[in-house]
Amino acid sequence: MKFMIILISSLFMFHSHALFEIDENKALLQSEKNTISIFETNVNSVVHISNIRKVRRGSARGFFFFHRPSRSKERIEGEGTGFVWDKNGHIVTNYHVIRGGTKFMVKFHKDPKKYEAKLIGSEPNKDIAVLKLVKTPKRLTPVKVGSSDTIKVGQKAIAIGNPFGLDSTITQGIVSAKGRAIRGITGIEIFDMIQTDSSINPGNSGGPLINSRGEVIGVNTMIYSHSGTSAGVGFAVPIDAVKKIAPQLIKYGQVKRAGFGIAPIEKEMLAYQYDIEIEKGLPIARVFEGSSADKAGLRGITGDEYEIYLGDIILKVDNKDINSYDDIFNILYEYNVGDTVKVTFLRKGKKKTVDMKLQLLQPRD
């Protein structure tokens, strides 16, 4: 009888353990299953990027005055995240992840091999860059690209990246806000940034922000933090901007920006340099000869030995207010070369409007 009791007890323990495993799987919430599915679908598309820089050692003379030739040494400048854009081996990441690097090494999830990549092009003002793998792994899975225009505040937001060098880390939160204007690495504000409370830390930069359908809606870029670690306020460049930038970087190595052909001056600088104060608009400092603005008759600042004369002040582009360089940069970024826009400007206290065909901007503009 004692033997039977022990046997039944053992059988009960075996079956209860099996039942526990079944119950545990059933206990997964639908939202948990969704998160697991997103991670498993995307983790092989997210990569770890090492930014390597060659540092040249200077020559030196020893005690016996012999000459030692200079040698270069490689060192890791920084690390970050990126994701596979297409089957040709293009990788999207942040500009600040690759800045200053001369060589880039890419590592995939659970792949011991490191793959070299070369820089194809970058758009520093939007903090976006594209690398291309020199050799690709046997299987290359691009991410599924979504839309940032249709996102809703409060929807799920998932980040996959390499915070503090910890590969393939997933964090989950929500879209906390949209349409944020955040100053980027070049000092120019990036419009329409996505704010999220999904934990983003150093090393997450360049990684994807993903919605509940497994689509990339942004590129995780920066955090607001006093400690340097996540404080629940992270920002991502919207994927709609990347969809415009990445193809141009791949095709041309740069973004072909449209504009007027002017050199504007901020109101604060106008007051500082020329002691002229205005309330609204963006003053034109100079109009380049032969430009669209020149052909439309716009005027910049002029002067003689006695006085400085204020030129035209741009007030609106297609009824969108212009009050700073950030405004005109981000508004015109949405247009293409050859598009026609309606420009409202102020000249000697009178408002004027002119239709202007946008031109390809040169590096001077």
| Residues with catalytic roles | 96, 127, 205
Q: Which residues contact 325 (CB under 8 A, 6 or more apart)?
A: 188, 264, 266, 282
Residue 109, Cα to own-chain centre: how many angstroms? 22
Q: Give the Cα separation of 182 and 177 in Å (integer).
A: 12
Q: Give the burial class of 231: count Cβ atoms within 10 A of its Cβ; 0-12 exposed, 13-18 middle, 19 or more buried.
A: middle
Q: Which residues contact 223 (CB under 8 A, 6 or more apart)?
A: 200, 201, 229, 230, 231, 233, 234, 235
Residue 206 identity? G
Q: What single string gives the DSSP state of each residue in 51-88? A: EEEEEEPPPEE-TT--EE---EEEEEEEEEEEEE-STT
Distances (CA, A) of 358 to 255, 256, 351: 15, 12, 21
Hey, what are 265's tokens? 């001056």
Residue 214 identity? G
